[in-house]
Structure 1
Amino acid sequence: MMKDIYITDYNCVTPLGFDVQSNWHALLEGKSGVALHKIIENHDAFYASMVDTQSLEKEFNSVFNGFHHDSSDFTRLEKMFLLSLKPLTERHNITEETAFILSTTKGNISLLKNQNTLPEGVYLSDLAKKIADFFGFKTKPIVISNACVSGVMAIAVAKNMILAGRYNDAFIVAGDEISEFVISGFNSFQAIGTDPCKPYDKDRNGINLGEATAAVYITSGLYQNEKFRFKVSGDSAINDANHISGPSRTGDGLFASIRNAMTEAKVSAEEIDFISAHGTATLYNDEMESIAFNRMGLQHIPLNSMKGYYGHCLGASGLLESIISMESSIHGTLIPSKNFKEVGISQPLNIITENRPAEIRYILKTASGFGGCNAAVVLEKT
């Protein structure tokens, strides 16, 4: 008999707060972490969503005071990972059958600045092992690094490895930080917007970068003291091999990912209650998504993008946005797609424009990224 796999706990560290509760309250009030920042000398300021370093240091020192480590032992990103993951490890046992999965696109890429040799910790495998060893994980860490679908794919990998009998449960932590490398990369594509981003809006002109970490606990074993549980009912990841950076004009990969995930979950388009879309606010991504959602008959389902609140957090986006989606379900509230005013896509979508109550049982979370990668998961509140 096939086991059911559930998300039963989560946490996050973002520019809007260092736990889920503070993030949720900020979102209800319409607050955004996106603001003007200047982190590269001799370059113009740009809109991004960044964690305040001083607040991060204070929180880290408060939480980890008394541990046998010095604050200087960890990079800024590693501190965010540790803060995200620590509450979950305190509430759930780590055994010899517990997986540890790290999702990131660039990891400690900032360590390469002004270096002639590769510093320790720049390899993603080394980063994952450092975090795993800190908490005492007994299994070899798994790294998911597949552009901007990494966070969603990590949920799928955990689910399928537990189903295959490799593990009993899993901790996932996902994260990326804004660095000069990331900024210059997106600048080379002329993809960074000159204003706060406006997903799906006719005046959108590009993304805002963001940074965050997020963590979830996934298990097949349920207990009485859980505050919530969301079944990972279906998942899929399809690469349409369209272009090194540009999304498919026909939405083939995203369409196939959604179709496969919904087929596995045994849900129809009419049963989906809410879509947490990728919504980067680039012309081609938003258009591609509108086409894919319409091909699946999902154009009437309430939909939002969280990029107006958090920016594009790369490897953390999919996991963070899944967490916020589950919070929406728990609180029975749909959060608007920030900065959206007038439709700027060719296909109709039911874009949420204000806080409103809703019963949310089935969530569709999607993501798309460079290299033609696409992913989708269906989460069911039980």
Structure 2
Amino acid sequence: MRTAAPPPIALTHDTVSTCLGHGLAAALDALRHTRSGLRREGFDLFDLPAWIGAVPDVDATRLPQALRHYDCRNNRLAELGLLQDGFASAVQQAAARLGPHRVGVFIGTSTSGILQTERAYRERDASGALPATFHYAETHNPYSVTAYVRERLGLRGPAYTISSACSSSAKVFATAQRLLACGVIDAAVVGGVDSLCLTTLYGFNSLQLMSSDPCRPFDAQRKGLSIGEAAAFALLERPAEPVAPDTVLLLGAGESSDAHHMSSPHPDGLGARLAMQQALAQAGLRPADIDYINLHGTATSSNDAAEGRAVAALFGSATPCSSTKGATGHTLGAAGAVEAAFCAIALRHGFMPGSAGTQTLDPAIAGAGALDYLLQPRAQAPRRVLSNSFGFGGTNCSLVFGLGACA
């Protein structure tokens, strides 16, 4: 017996901070002008030629004194993100209205505070002991960022971290959707926070997946990904009745695990296609109902090719699509939440983002009209959009967002 689809959920507040700048206004300006925030700069001890997407002013951010035991780059990035666009205040107002026990917290991350452990190992004493100031549970531990956000906002509802590689902070939307549908919570703070660390930078370089130039998604000459960092959050609630036409809604979520390979996707994107199909089915939509697709689009050879085949097979060439990772770099566990925010921006402001860095489309993916891939923004207002996030090991998630006017 087929169960009823969960009702739409409203994104009542959201925010995003990336290398493009702090808050929604900086993101909007960059997306409108196809501007990249990637810079050829060093980070910590990283000394390989690469362009990275570091968020400005993270190190200058300070945590509240009572929460200083959580101090690490990842939680500073979370704090910086919470301060943008009035987000923390909006959540606290929701908690006052609904009760702090009725607001959940679900955060996606992949590396969390690994940088803190990397630095602690450099400070070991002669016996090899780590410094007494190092607190694994509150910094490196993947749950630390969720614990920090929960404490920082004074929330007491269910809380956990999802760490499923690059789909982590897309899956938090599906998690919150389920708990809202079954009445466990009345609202949820969802998001993604992932910060730069040497493990990530050298790790992707060792896999020969990192470009020495700014990444160029779906480009014929793409050489690999660029790594970025980000903090993005959304407050999800049941929509008010009647639903305002400009309300951004989560209409559907689809998840799959193709388990094709530890790091490479299925060459035909079968798991990716299944996630997209499930998201459409849950939203009660057909492929033709989607106006724009935010692609996972990492600019690696295999990922772009697999996703391109999956999108072409399901949507054909009728649906405009692009990757925004040329603007931010791949923010890993934060990517799903970042690109959900970008989709909300596109819906609210009536345009479709282009693809920063991409110059000549790969004819093997987008040739002969196989995809309507946008190199530049298109001044066409989407009503329903799909956002893809696909991680190592085939952990796939697709989200459908739409405006209240067409729910």
Structure 1 pair 256–135 and aligned structure 2 pair: CA distance change class (3 A): same
Task: State the Cα distance separating 1:178 from its structure 2 match.
Answer: 1.1
Q: Deviating runs (4+, > 4 A) in structure 1?
A: 67-73, 223-228
Pairing 1:237-252 to 2, within 5 Å after superposition: 237-252=255-270
Task: State the Cα distance separating 1:225 from its structure 2 match.
Answer: 11
d(CA) in 1 for partners of 2:260, 2:226: 24
Given the two structures, how large is their TM-score scaled by the length of structure 2? Answer: 0.86
**1:12 touches 1:20 (CA, 8 Å); kept in 2?**
yes
**2:166 touches 2:332 (CA, 8 Å); kept in 1?**
yes
Amino acid at match of 1:37: E
1:299 aligns with 2:321: no
Structure 1 pair 127–9 and aligned structure 2 pair: CA distance change class (3 A): closer
User: C-alpha deviations, 1:288-320, integer Å up to 9, x for none?
Assistant: 011101121343211111111000000111111
Structure 1 pair 126–175 and aligned structure 2 pair: CA distance change class (3 A): closer
d(CA) in 2 for partners of 1:130, 1:269: 39
d(CA) in 2 for partners of 1:225, 1:377: 20
**1:175 touches 1:213 (CA, 8 Å); kept in 2?**
yes
d(CA) in 1 for partners of 2:283, 2:393: 27
1:111 aligns with 2:116: yes
Of 214, 221, 228 in structure 2, the residue corresponding to residue 210 of structure 1 is: 228
Structure 1: segments with no counterpart, 5+ residues: none
d(CA) in 1 for partners of 2:201, 2:75: 20
d(CA) in 2 for partners of 1:211, 1:305: 16
**1:81 touches 1:173 (CA, 8 Å); kept in 2?**
no
**2:110 touches 2:165 (CA, 8 Å); kept in 1?**
yes
Structure 1 pair 368–88 and aligned structure 2 pair: CA distance change class (3 A): same
Task: Provide the aligned length of Structure 1 versus Structure 2.
Answer: 375
Identify the range of structure 1 (108-117 vs 310-319) with the bigger mean alpha-carbon deviation. Answer: 108-117
Task: State the Cα distance separating 1:131 from its structure 2 match.
Answer: 2.4
Of 367, 375, 378 in structure 1, the residue corresponding to residue 389 of structure 2 is: 367
Of 44, 47, 55 in structure 1, the residue corresponding to residue 48 of structure 2 is: 44
User: C-alpha deviations, 1:205-232, integer Å up to 9, x for none?
Assistant: 1000001100001011427998942221
Identify the range of structure 1 (71-80 vs 331-340) with the bigger mean alpha-carbon deviation. Answer: 71-80
Identify the range of structure 1 (76-85 vs 357-366) with the bigger mean alpha-carbon deviation. Answer: 76-85
Amino acid at match of 1:172: V
Task: State the Cα distance separating 1:323 from its structure 2 match.
Answer: 0.7
Structure 1 pair 225–242 and aligned structure 2 pair: CA distance change class (3 A): closer
For 1:82, the equivalent position in structure 2 comes to 79
Identical columns (%): 23
Given the two structures, how large is their TM-score scaled by the length of structure 1? Answer: 0.92
d(CA) in 2 for partners of 1:262, 1:143: 26
- Note the aligned Cα RMSD (angstroms): 2.2
Of 337, 360, 368 in structure 2, the residue corresponding to residue 342 of structure 1 is: 360
**1:85 touches 1:173 (CA, 8 Å); kept in 2?**
no
Structure 1 pair 357–205 and aligned structure 2 pair: CA distance change class (3 A): same
For 1:149, the equivalent position in structure 2 comes to 167
Structure 2: segments with no counterpart, 5+ residues: 122-128
d(CA) in 2 for partners of 1:161, 1:248: 31
1:34 aligns with 2:1: no
**2:103 touches 2:158 (CA, 8 Å); kept in 1?**
no
d(CA) in 1 for partners of 2:311, 2:193: 27
For 1:6, the equivalent position in structure 2 comes to 10
**2:34 touches 2:376 (CA, 8 Å); kept in 1?**
no
For 1:16, the equivalent position in structure 2 comes to 20
SS in structure 2 at match of 1:37: coil
Structure 1 pair 18–367 and aligned structure 2 pair: CA distance change class (3 A): same
1:183 aligns with 2:180: no
1:230 aligns with 2:229: no
d(CA) in 2 for partners of 1:140, 1:254: 29
d(CA) in 2 for partners of 1:294, 1:70: 48
Task: State the Cα distance separating 1:68 from its structure 2 match.
Answer: 4.4
Pairing 1:130-141 to 2, within 5 Å after superposition: 130-141=148-159
d(CA) in 1 for partners of 2:82, 2:43: 27
**1:214 touches 1:316 (CA, 8 Å); kept in 2?**
yes
SS in structure 2 at match of 1:360: coil
Identify the range of structure 1 (69-78 vs 12-21) with the bigger mean alpha-carbon deviation. Answer: 69-78
SS in structure 2 at match of 1:285: helix
Amino acid at match of 2:396: N
**2:167 touches 2:396 (CA, 8 Å); kept in 1?**
yes
Pairing 1:320-359 to 2, within 5 Å after superposition: 320-344=338-362, 346-347=364-365, 348-359=370-381
d(CA) in 1 for partners of 2:212, 2:272: 27
**1:308 touches 1:338 (CA, 8 Å); kept in 2?**
yes
Task: State the Cα distance separating 1:41 from its structure 2 match.
Answer: 3.9
Task: State the Cα distance separating 1:143 from its structure 2 match.
Answer: 0.8
Pairing 1:233-272 to 2, within 5 Å after superposition: 233-272=251-290
Task: State the Cα distance separating 1:346 from its structure 2 match.
Answer: 2.4
